[in-house]
Amino acid sequence: MTYLAGEGRANEHTEQHLVAGDHAIMARHGYAVLDAAAAREIGVALDTPRVAYGVEVTRQVRVADPETGEVHNDRVAADVWHCSLSLRAEEGQLSDEQWGTIAQQFVDRMGFTEASGKAPCRWVAVRHGLSKNGNDHVHIAVSLVREDGTKATTHNDYKRAQELCRTLEVEHGLMPVDSRERGMGERGVKPAET
């Protein structure tokens, strides 16, 4: 949250504010510009179920020892799921209301809210101006510990998110990402190029 409410890597973040999120967080913080104190409060609110239930969410990573070069497996904290939804610069900008609707539909369909039939995860969608390349976008941050202390699944999340983005592009009349039009995993097209 500190990064999302901060100045960004190239001072591109301006007027950082929520456009959607967990009902309690939205009731407390609304749509006002976020400062560092508000970002900390939101971070604490997102993390409350994890802390209250003492739940640990980790993922395995491969780490190389800088001195020996030896590689070993380690576990790191992975209790927050983050993604950004972005438009091409030539598409212009959406309103806060449009981004709020898209963000809500995205987290609902990813299974992070009560729409999944499970206890909801706490989440927010932050908008903070155009990227350095001129792309309108929002960042979504989701606590992976649900209100009842259970863990939300991120199994196959990249593929599910890509499929969902394609559906949302069609539903909202947005320009489809070319690589999704050609199919995921096409030879010669890497995610970074997309």
CA distance 100 to 86: 13
151: CB partners within 8 A, 6+ apart: 55, 57, 144, 145
Strands (E), 91-159: 121-127, 137-146
Partners of 80 in the β-ladder? 143
Report pLDDT digits (tens) over 139-166: 999 999 999 999 999 999 999 999 999 9
Query: Which residue matches tokens 């959607």?
Result: 20
Note the pLDDT of residue 183.
52
CA distance 180 to 53: 39
CA distance 181 to 145: 34
DSSP label at residue 6: S
Question: Residue 187 — very low, low, confident or very high, per pLDDT cuts 50/70/90?
Answer: very low
* Full-model pTM: 0.87
Amino acid 125 reads: A
CA distance 152 to 143: 8
Partners of 59 in the β-ladder? 76
CA distance 148 to 166: 31
Query: Containing H/E element for 37?
Result: helix 36-53
90: CB partners within 8 A, 6+ apart: 175
Torsion of CA 121, 131, 91, 142, to 10 degrees: 0
> Residue 76 above 60 pLDDT?
yes
Report pLDDT digits (tens) over 23-58: 999 999 999 989 999 999 999 999 999 999 999 999
Question: Residue 71 — very low, low, confident or very high, per pLDDT cuts 50/70/90?
Answer: very high
